[in-house]
Amino acid sequence: MDDITLLDAAERYLRGEMTEEERKLFEELRKNNADVDQLVVEHHFFLDEMNRHANIKNLRSTLHDTHIALLKEGAIREIPTGRARLVYLWTRYKRTIAVAASIAGVTALLFSGMVTVLTPKADKNQVEVLGRKLDILEKNQNHTNSELRDVKHKIEIPGTPAKFGGTGFLIDAKGLLVTNAHVVKNASRVTVQNKSGLELNAKTIFVDDSLDIAILKIDDSLFKALNALPYAIKKSSNDLAEPIYTLGYPRDEIVYGEGYLSAKTGFNGDTLTCQISVAANPGNSGGPVLNKNGEVIGILSTRQVAAEGVVFAINSKNIFRALDQMKRTDTSFQNIKLPGNSAMKSMDRVQQVKKVQDCVFMVKGY
């Protein structure tokens, strides 16, 4: 029995188209063969499903036709969606809208009321106060300006102003000083002043602009020569991170500052100078830079404008070079010998400074 014959038999059986004999035979087959029984049940369900599908399709088209027919008759009517929606929204929310509108209205009135009642008064007061304050501010400013002008006048009229200022220190007990060339540059007259305020005349006897070193000689009867210098001038190179200190005259008083050697070369790799980290101000120029043993390792000369705490000192060995050059041109200084030994090696810093400060002078150029 192939599929189609079986299907035909099942269909005829389900429709009751079989003869009595056939039906009995088929029922026997159903009972004995589960597959056939399964097919009959399945086919019954499937035919039902097909029928139902057809009926619903039919009903759908009938319903559709009915809808159109009833619309035509006027038994039902279509409400345009847009209007219906508006009407619907209105009918649904009219109470809410009314409440919202009245709240909005009341709030608006309240706010505008508050604005008109409260704001102008407050504004007026503030404006007046502000005006008065402005007046006071202006007066204060004028006053400050006039005061500033007075101060300026005072600053600008010192008795006999020094054009340049700097520091210098002795390299020879007899009165030879070293300072920066830029300190005494363009000066027609140079004086030096010791820590007690005594001003002594001095002479520039040597200037080397390339080294930025100038050598002065104190030429004043008031100057009392020292027995010996407490410090030594160091000829060898220095060590990184070596603690250092300086003395100088950034103001009328001698000022002490300490720091460390931060680089062996100076600005842009200049080998004539080294970089030190110390507080330095204009006026410190030409001051000695000493190490812990009381040896002069350099002459404080410049600082980097763009950077904080970057100060450059001319290596002390350049003092020897400058002296040698001077000796070559001026035979009167042949006997000068720079101090090679420090007398302060075992001294503490305070003791060292006490000794050194006698040898450090303020240099003034007129």
| Least distance (Å) between residue 16 CB and other proteins | 15
Q: Does 92 help bind other proteins (rule: CB under 8 A)?
A: yes
Q: Does 88 help bind other proteins (rule: CB under 8 A)?
A: yes
Binding-site size, other proteins (CB under 8 A): 38
| C-alpha Rg value of the chain to the nearest Å | 56
Interface region with other proteins, contact rule CB under 8 A, candidates 74-82, 111-119, 166-174, 338-346:
74-82
- φ and ψ of 116, to 5 deg: -70, -35
Residues forming the active site: 182, 212, 285
| Least distance (Å) between residue 62 CB and other proteins | 6
E strand or H helix at 289, and its extent? strand 288-291
State how far the Cα of 204 lies from the Cα of 301, in Å rounded to an integer. Answer: 18
- Pairing mode, strands 243-248 and 255-263: antiparallel
Binding mask 6-25 for other proteins (x = CB under 8 A): -xx-----------------
Count Cα neighbours of 306 within 13 Å in the Cβ-side half-sphere.
1
State how far the Cα of 30 lies from the Cα of 161, in Å rounded to an integer. Answer: 136
By beta-carbon proximity to other proteins, the closer residue of 85 and 163 is: 85
Q: Does 47 help bind other proteins (rule: CB under 8 A)?
A: yes
Q: Does 79 help bind other proteins (rule: CB under 8 A)?
A: yes
Q: Does 63 help bind other proteins (rule: CB under 8 A)?
A: yes
**Could you give the angle at the alpha carbon of 253 between the alpha carbons of 248 and 258, nearest 5°?**
40
Q: Does 52 help bind other proteins (rule: CB under 8 A)?
A: yes
Which position among 1, 25, 41, 59 is part of the footprint of other proteins (CB under 8 A)?
Answer: 59
Amino acid at position 88, single letter: Y
Which position among 19, 72, 75, 228 is part of the footprint of other proteins (CB under 8 A)?
Answer: 75
| Least distance (Å) between residue 130 CB and other proteins | 55
State how far the Cα of 85 lies from the Cα of 93, in Å rounded to an integer. Answer: 12
State how far the Cα of 169 lies from the Cα of 361, in Å rounded to an integer. Answer: 6
State how far the Cα of 306 lies from the Cα of 246, in Å rounded to an integer. Answer: 22
Which position among 49, 128, 135, 209 is part of the footprint of other proteins (CB under 8 A)?
Answer: 49
By beta-carbon proximity to other proteins, the closer residue of 5 and 210 is: 5
State how far the Cα of 312 lies from the Cα of 307, in Å rounded to an integer. Answer: 12
Interface region with other proteins, contact rule CB under 8 A, candidates 64-72, 102-110, 226-234, 302-310:
64-72
State how far the Cα of 320 lies from the Cα of 15, in Å rounded to an integer. Answer: 135
- DSSP letter (8 states) at residue 249: -
Amino acid at position 254, single letter: I
| Least distance (Å) between residue 96 CB and other proteins | 14
| Least distance (Å) between residue 13 CB and other proteins | 15
Interface region with other proteins, contact rule CB under 8 A, candidates 48-56, 93-101, 251-259, 349-357:
48-56
Which among 260, 258, 301, 306 has a CA at the least distance from the CA of 282? Answer: 301
Q: Does 66 help bind other proteins (rule: CB under 8 A)?
A: yes
Question: Which residues are at the interface with other proteins (CB under 8 A)?
Answer: 3-4, 7-8, 42-43, 46-47, 49-56, 58-60, 62-64, 66-67, 69-70, 75-81, 84-85, 88, 91-92
